[in-house]
Copies of this chain bind each other. A is one copy, B any other.
Amino acid sequence: MTHSKPDAPFFERIALVGIGLIGSSISLAARRAGLVGEVIGCARSAATRDRALELGLVDHVFADPREAVEGADLIVLCSPVGTFSGIAEAISTAISPGCIVTDVGSVKGAVVRDVGPHVPDNAHFVPCHPVAGTEYSGPDAGFAELFDNRWCILTPPAGADPAAVEKLDRFWQLCGAKTETMDANHHDLVLAITSHVPHLIAYNIVGTAEDLETVTQSEVIKYSAGGFRDFTRIAASDPVMWRDIFLNNKEAVLEMLGRFNEDLSALQRAIRWSDGDALESLFSRTRTIRQGIIDAGQETPEADFGRGPEQHSSGDES
């Protein structure tokens, strides 16, 4: 992938409110493409602030979001979405004229509701969602390539300034992402099935496995290569971030979960009544969609995600 560098920084001063996996990756990706003059960070925790400076992710760092956003021409909210309302209210009068205010939240309807009213008329509000991440959190988790070839969804509200939307769109592309524009509510429905419900059922099955009396935790761990371990990756995602996602995309998640449950009941019945044809029929058609994802460059074709056997085992831990 080539990153053509613009002559002048795209943004003179980016304020990242939250310097976790996504915030730190934005800093690294923006700098890789020469898109930014100064990066300002903001984090509540002193440990995160110190670490962000130490890693060179930010030029300056603040605890107070008002101080952090001062003079910024791009403000990116990168904290859990449950914090957005309070942050937006706090920074409202400190936002510079012409500034683009955006976020990276995994829900968009609630962000429009919570942040929109606090962005002054002389600034621009363009919510975003880069569909990328790993199971790790915090400033050490970021890397410049996180957004490469991943989709970033922009959900500009009605009446958003086209030039601001275009500028942010270009910014994400220069950070390596492919971009798409979408209605916020439709975004929430799409992500409910491609991200939120998958996370919910992964968290759920890991919880179920932990609570069993008939199978020990040691057995779950030893034989997890049968499929279970894949779910533990997603179920290791940031707890507060995900709590806030479910609290803020309730309607779409419950709708998709209803569909999932309905289909699972049918499968359960097929097993109980030994309906092999129903099982084989479903199991045969689900292969196709993975090939589509591989063909679209969103997944590796390598067997087992390219994981090799772990040779650095601690040995007979059982």
Contacts and interface: CB of A to CB of B under 8 A. Distances in A.
A208 interface: yes
A159 interface: no
B141 A222 contact: no
Nearest to A226: B195
A178 B223 CA distance: 11
A308 B307 CA distance: 12
Interface string A295-308: 11111100111111
Given A135-B303, A280-B239, A298-B310, A228 B194 contact: yes
Copies in the complex: 2
Contacts of A313: 149, 296-298
A189 B236 CA distance: 24
Contacts of A232: 286, 289-290, 293, 299
B136 A284 contact: no
B227 A202 contact: yes
A205 B305 contact: no
Contact of A191 (B176, B203, B223): B223
A219 interface: yes
Interface residues of chain A: helix, strand, loop or mixed (majority): helix
Nearest to A259: B208
A240 B318 CA distance: 33
Interface string A206-250: 111111101101011111111111111111110110111011001
A90 interface: no
A268 interface: yes
Interface string A145-156: 100111101000
A46 interface: no
A208 B291 CA distance: 17
Given A141-B303, A207-B285, A290-B236, A224 B309 contact: no
